[in-house]
Amino acid sequence: MNPTVQIFKDLPTLSQAAAQLFIVSAEQAIAERGRFLVALSGGSTPTALHRLLVDAPVDWPRVHVFWGDERCVPVDDPGNNYAQARDALLAHVPIPADNIHRIPAELEPDSAARAYAAALSGFHAPWPRFDLVLLGMGDDGHTASLFPGSPVDEDQPVIAVTAHYQGRPVQRVSLTPLVINAARQVVFLVSGQSKSATLVRVLKGNSNPKKLPAQRIHPSDGNLTWLLDEAAGSNLELLETSS
Ligand code: 6PG
């Protein structure tokens, strides 16, 4: 199924749309299955969304939060994805502590990856089918912590990664497409001119998943949506408007 691409004026407007999508997805999952399983992304793009969700009508006691990836830095490090979401959102909503499934980034990367894979399996073997996976994309085409040159044939749900990107933490842990593509819905939030050329390659270029890991994301039985701001989508004709 082709992805849905929506382009918004700017990041605040994109974030409003993402918040509305989050609210609707949560409502539907809770109505149908009694809980909402969501994997958050790291980076700077989702911060505005996280802040908007503080006052959103979400049944937080029925929400379980996971992460698509994590940097192997302590939870008091500003580069820690869990800490970013905790400070902007989770500390301000009535989500039970047991519903927050952070990646144990204080462990060595390989141990953290094994521990997170075990936690996913313990929650729902072999891994949960997420109702919503939120992702970002780097200007190099990476997503989560799947970077250009990363092996593309992982048979594990979680991997440890060493990657150099914009001076951010190098040691990481990441979900692999095995888990991400099992989700009911995957949504990319992409903002900024620096990503516009890569977006054209990812969405309209030839298939090259080793160089453009974002191309590895195509849910096997779920929806894929790209929410862009005009700066990121500036080189891209609208592929398809969602209804
Ligand atoms: C991470 C993210 C990563 C991020 C992109 C985009 O841990 O760094 O999961 O995949 O989404 O690097 O980051 P920005 O939103 O800061 O551009």
Place of tokens 């933490």: 169
Average pLDDT, the chain: 95
Q: What is the pLDDT of residues 68-80, one digit of tens each?
A: 999 999 999 999 9
For the cut 80, the answer to whether the pLDDT of residue 232 exceeds it is yes
**pLDDT for the residue 237:** 60
Contact call for residues 80 and 71 (beta carbons, < 8 A): yes
Name the nearest CA neighbour of 198 among 242, 159, 228. Answer: 228
pLDDT grade for 243, boundaries at 50, 70 and 90: very low
Domain ranges of the chain: 12-190
For the cut 80, the answer to whether the pLDDT of residue 88 exceeds it is yes
Q: What is the b/e burial string over 7-32, where b = at least 16 CB atoms within 10 angstroms of the residue's CB?
A: bbeebeebbebbbebbeebbeebbee
Q: What is the pLDDT of residues 139-196, one digit of tens each?
A: 999 999 999 988 777 899 999 999 999 999 999 999 999 999 999 999 999 999 999 9
For the cut 70, the answer to whether the pLDDT of residue 241 exceeds it is no
**Is the shortest distance between the CB of 81 and ligand 1 below 6 Å?**
yes
Ligand 1 atom, smallest distance to 43 CA: 16
Distance (Å, rounded) from C-alpha 217 to C-alpha 221?
A: 12
Q: Specify the CATH architecture of the domain 12-190.
A: 3-Layer(aba) Sandwich (3.40)
For the cut 80, the answer to whether the pLDDT of residue 235 exceeds it is yes
Contact call for residues 66 and 104 (beta carbons, < 8 A): no
Q: What is the pLDDT of residues 3-35, one digit of tens each?
A: 999 999 999 999 999 999 999 999 999 999 999
**Is the shortest distance between the CB of 144 and ligand 1 below 6 Å?**
yes
pLDDT grade for 236, boundaries at 50, 70 and 90: confident
**Is the shortest distance between the CB of 136 and ligand 1 below 6 Å?**
yes
**pLDDT for the residue 151:** 73
